[in-house]
Structure 1
Amino acid sequence: MRLVLGMMKHETNTFSPLRTDWARFQDWGAFAGDEARKAFEKTAMPLGAYMKLARERGAEFTIPMAAEAMPSGPVERDAYERMAGAICEEVVKGCDGVLLDLHGAMVTVDHEDGEGELLARIREIAPDVPIAVTLDLHTNLTQRMIDNCTALIGYKTYPHVDMYEVAEQIGRVVLDSMEGKCRPVMAWRSLPLLSQTLKQGTDDEPMKSLIAMACAAEARPGILAASVFGGFPMADIRDAGTSVIVVADGDREKAGAACEEIGQAAWKARETFIYQHEPLEQAVARAKTLTNGPVLLLDHADNTGSGGTQDVMTVIAEVIRQGLEDVAVAAVWDPAAVQDMAKAGIGATVTIRLGGKTDMPSIGLKGEPLEITGKVKILTDGEWVVHGPMYTGVTVRMGPTAVLDTGKVQIVIVSRHHEPWDTGVFRSVGIEPEHKRYLVLKSRIHYRAGFAELGKATITCDGHGVTTSDNSILTFERLRRPIYPLDRMNDDTLLPSTAQQ
């Protein structure tokens, strides 16, 4: 048996001004062949699970591409063709199966559905080859994805700490189908619901109950996999939104019934998928009254893990204005500031214009730096290994990194975008987060992987940025309509319209 394994992952924020060229994938990690094997074999990533399955079956395998970039704007043509081309060229050589780790919300300059385009190309090359696909919980699922794979599955956790397990599950389904042990068929439902990622945490309602329904469905005889996709609402494409998919063993009716049950429950809970705002000044003032730390302050509108520029200073400026003390911030993206601090040297006192280097024309905002004075506390190369439950074993490369200490606030400043989902973002620069009174994190939900157990309280801070949870400042032009909450839809029961493979 010869298998082609591959990874091509990007969550595309079409409102983001950040370029997604090939260099951005190289910054986070782009590997092939033996380098890919070494990079992911001992990690809790889907490729690690796929390699394990291949070895269990005594199969040969190749990894022509394993690439991921931090969320940003549409993927440029050269980057996409490098990744998709490498995978397709390997399939051309001949294989018995393809196991892919994709995201599900990749938009390119040429294709609204980057994953569907890749799968269609593979199908054109090898019409009968079995294909397994692992997708992110924030997938914007499309008919093209369904039509061009054998079976797919999504993560059941946000933050995503089950990537290895779901890849192993769907990989086994497809490998078993190759041996005649099962016959995967799929039913799926796309809901007219643009749910917000800040309300998709799987420890919270309504996702907690919906995921429980998916798990209960999987426990029924004949159901091979069931997934609920919250969708990624920062993509202005036709198919953005919430969806459900069920994979059954040869029984489309059974798959459809389970899919409709979960889909109807998701639709009835639609109002709880929408974030309720609080004035920033009020949120920070409320945090100031809390004495038992660490208190987690989420700068969610500038979450680089959803395509934020990571250099908006609105929340940090308000924290400083209100005089909060013993604060650590992770992280501000400002390569120029890091260079200036490196020139000054550790121990030097500097005054810099921090952040605010990026304009955001999609929401009509200009970058606004914050003039700030502090001591250069530490300088590092920004490399460290994740030991927490999300991306376990993966090497993070934040690029040249510095810590600016104002006396009350310590700010981690990085040269490459990175969302703080692991305490290593602080520990790698000598900050012990558990001993801080406040932690300002440019994150939405992924912070929970590393910080949930540390935080004594969590407050969302409504700052500015292209990952805003305020739909009123976003302009959707391609999105299908009507869709909730952009359009008022009062009927609690959706008409059955489950699509099938």
Structure 2
Amino acid sequence: MMTFTVLTAEFAHESNTFSIRPTDIAAFRARLFLQGDAAVAERADANTDIAGFMDVARAQGWQTRHAISASASPAGPVTRGAFDEIAGCILAAAKAGPLDGILLGLHGAMVVEDHPDGEGLLLERLRAVVGPDLPIAVTLDPHANVTARMCDLAQIVMSYCTYPHVDMRDTARRAASLLQRMMTGEIAPRTLRVTRPMLEEANSGRTDEGPMIARHALARAHEDTPGALAVSINAGFGNADISELGPTVLVTHTGDAGPHLAFAQALVDDIWARRHEVLNHFLTPAEAAAEALAHTGPGPLIIADYADNPGAGSYGDAPGLLTALLDAGVTDACFGPMVDPEAAALLHEQAVGAEVTLQLGGKTDPRFGGGPITVTGTVALLSDGRYTGDGPMIGGLPGDWGPTAVLRVAGVAVLVVTNHGQMLDLQQFRAFGIDPAAHRIVALKSQQHFRAAFTPIAARVIVCDSGALCSPDLRRLPFHRVPRPIFPLD
């Protein structure tokens, strides 16, 4: 068996250009910043890109050179210093010796503070080192804003097929398998891209129900046609004011592009034709609180605040939903996360059992989601914020909220955290003494990803728009750079 040398790396960020919080190197170090063997050791048996890459590497007998695994919680554009440091690590590994191929686990919606296409910029720098022909395979999040440059510079581009993203390892395995075939000379692939003038797909690519189920069935069927290797359907990421954004369909193929181009066009035309078919019915915080007050079970009512989703770059500190629950007198409820480092630090100065009055939430940018509220509660728990996920998305992976407290305010247990992140695993509550399944009401900040872990315990799920930075109504945002006309702005 021929032994290939393959460079691997993970470098992911979803950049919300409307956020006032820049993503610096400290933000990467707070979430994920592991180099070489340390990254592989922690992440190679979980739902990660590097796990899928290593599955194939072991099976094929590759020599792998893992540069880095780095990601930061979605926020504002990545600083040039952070980008240069992480990209520099990948470039140094590329220069360390001859390579037969490169595998990159990226996101696809990275914006650098002075460049709108972070992934394209990384690939340009890599091509300057390895030349125009070395096989490169890239995996992406389906919320990628895939640019023409990405598809020009990487021959294989493949996105996850599920949202919640429970198939990251599987997608990486598929991409690595195609890279193997390319390195042996069996295939000479390239990737085509088709798009439409939209900020994002109507339901952000939701795959548990709705039209994306049928689209993916068509995509899998097309992969069985001559020359087709992989079809990717990307919903896009609408919270980015850049020139290339929105839904795309990609086909990685060999041979004549014609039939694959026609297929991709038909899929993206369907996304356009169904642009008004929104699955979710978004309640106001007051309406959600009224539903909570009336809920009798069995099982909890899950209320997800989509607008304050840290997983899309919102600040996680909008108090609107919590205020509505408290004003309505909702009891037997838990709420989290409330991302408020100042409040978490103040609570850590108290003893468990102490009663405290403080300003909570609304401190980052009150224009989106409102300003702080004053609450009085009892400190129920203090923690360093560390946990290990056990759900479909992050099972086995460590997480860290930073200094964390549970504050019981009237009938609501509020998880107050330091580090920015969304709720997508039951252990993000349970590790801090809150069992969501034992509460009548579970209010959380997340968009769609929470469903993988929380739907199995839920009596019902409702969704809320608190008016925070990631409101589903993108017309509220001050776009200046997107090409016009574009839906739904025009």
TM-score range (shorter-chain normalised) is over 0.9
Amino acid across the alignment from 1:168: R
In structure 2, what is the equivalent of residue 140 of structure 1? 145
In structure 2, what is the equivalent of residue 374 of structure 1? 377
TM-score (structure 2 length as normaliser): 0.95
Question: Does structure 2 conserve the Cα–Cα contact (< 8 Å) formed by 1:199 and 1:274?
Answer: no
How many residue pairs get aligned? The number is: 484
In structure 2, what is the equivalent of residue 494 of structure 1? none
Tell me the secondary structure at the aligned position of residue 271 of structure 1.
coil
Amino acid across the alignment from 2:181: D
Tell me the secondary structure at the aligned position of residue 376 of structure 1.
strand
In structure 2, what is the equivalent of residue 316 of structure 1? 322
Partner of residue 479 from structure 1, selected from 455, 477, 482: 482
Partners in 2 of 1:198 and 1:409 — Cα distance?
Answer: 30
Tell me the secondary structure at the aligned position of residue 84 of structure 1.
helix
Change (3 A) 1:257 1:196: closer
Partner of residue 11 from structure 2, selected from 8, 19, 44: 8
Moved more, 281-290 or 433-442: 281-290
Amino acid across the alignment from 1:322: A
In structure 2, what is the equivalent of residue 301 of structure 1? 307
Counterparts of residues 333-482 of structure 1 (less than 5 Å): 333-359=339-365, 364-365=367-368, 368-482=371-485
TM-superposed deviation, 1:199: 4.4
TM-superposed deviation, 1:275: 6.2
Question: Does structure 2 conserve the Cα–Cα contact (< 8 Å) formed by 1:384 and 1:424?
Answer: yes
Deviations 1:197-251 (A, max 9, x none): 7543111222222222212222334321101000000001111100100112333
Moved more, 467-476 or 1-10: 467-476
Partners in 2 of 1:197 and 1:123 — Cα distance?
Answer: 35
Partner of residue 231 from structure 2, selected from 222, 226, 230: 226
TM-superposed deviation, 1:153: 0.5
In structure 2, what is the equivalent of residue 110 of structure 1? 114
Counterparts of residues 154-303 of structure 1 (less than 5 Å): 154-195=159-200, 199-273=204-278, 277-292=282-297, 293-303=299-309
Question: Does structure 1 conserve the Cα–Cα contact (< 8 Å) formed by 2:326 and 2:410?
Answer: no
Deviations 1:33-71 (A, max 9, x none): 121111211222011111221222222111112100010
Deviations 1:305-351 (A, max 9, x none): 00011111011101110111111011101122222222211111111
Question: Does structure 2 conserve the Cα–Cα contact (< 8 Å) formed by 1:226 and 1:247?
Answer: yes
Partners in 2 of 1:125 and 1:279 — Cα distance?
Answer: 52
Counterparts of residues 33-182 of structure 1 (less than 5 Å): 33-93=36-96, 94-127=98-131, 128-182=133-187
Partners in 2 of 1:274 and 1:19 — Cα distance?
Answer: 32
Partners in 2 of 1:299 and 1:73 — Cα distance?
Answer: 20
Partners in 2 of 1:197 and 1:5 — Cα distance?
Answer: 34
Question: Does structure 2 conserve the Cα–Cα contact (< 8 Å) formed by 1:16 and 1:72?
Answer: yes
Partners in 2 of 1:338 and 1:218 — Cα distance?
Answer: 50
Change (3 A) 1:236 1:274: farther
Tell me the secondary structure at the aligned position of residue 343 of structure 1.
coil
TM-score (structure 1 length as normaliser): 0.93
Moved more, 285-294 or 43-52: 285-294
Tell me the secondary structure at the aligned position of residue 37 of structure 2.
helix
Deviations 1:256-279 (A, max 9, x none): 132122122222111125866544
Partners in 2 of 1:21 and 1:15 — Cα distance?
Answer: 16
Amino acid across the alignment from 1:308: S
Tell me the secondary structure at the aligned position of residue 462 of structure 2.
strand
TM-superposed deviation, 1:3: 1.0
Change (3 A) 1:42 1:197: farther
Structure 1 gap ranges (5+):
488-501
Partners in 2 of 1:199 and 1:184 — Cα distance?
Answer: 28
Counterparts of residues 489-500 of structure 1 (less than 5 Å): none
Question: Does structure 2 conserve the Cα–Cα contact (< 8 Å) formed by 1:188 and 1:244?
Answer: yes
Question: Does structure 2 conserve the Cα–Cα contact (< 8 Å) formed by 1:300 and 1:462?
Answer: yes
Change (3 A) 1:84 1:249: same
In structure 2, what is the equivalent of residue 498 of structure 1? none
Tell me the secondary structure at the aligned position of residue 384 of structure 1.
strand
Tell me the secondary structure at the aligned position of residue 44 of structure 1.
coil
Partners in 1 of 2:69 and 2:116 — Cα distance?
Answer: 21
Tell me the secondary structure at the aligned position of residue 404 of structure 1.
strand
Question: Does structure 2 conserve the Cα–Cα contact (< 8 Å) formed by 1:287 and 1:295?
Answer: yes
Moved more, 220-229 or 425-434: 220-229
Question: Does structure 1 conserve the Cα–Cα contact (< 8 Å) formed by 2:475 and 2:488?
Answer: no
Amino acid across the alignment from 1:54: A
Partners in 2 of 1:177 and 1:121 — Cα distance?
Answer: 22
Question: Does structure 2 conserve the Cα–Cα contact (< 8 Å) formed by 1:196 and 1:469?
Answer: no
Partners in 1 of 2:222 and 2:279 — Cα distance?
Answer: 26
Question: Does structure 1 conserve the Cα–Cα contact (< 8 Å) formed by 2:369 and 2:469?
Answer: no
Tell me the secondary structure at the aligned position of residue 31 of structure 1.
strand
TM-superposed deviation, 1:89: 1.8
Change (3 A) 1:179 1:133: same
Amino acid across the alignment from 1:2: T
Structure 2 gap ranges (5+):
none
TM-superposed deviation, 1:159: 0.7
Change (3 A) 1:199 1:2: closer
Tell me the secondary structure at the aligned position of residue 307 of structure 2.
helix
TM-superposed deviation, 1:294: 0.7
Change (3 A) 1:66 1:275: same
Moved more, 372-381 or 184-193: 184-193
Moved more, 339-348 or 278-287: 278-287
Change (3 A) 1:197 1:261: closer
Tell me the secondary structure at the aligned position of residue 352 of structure 1.
strand
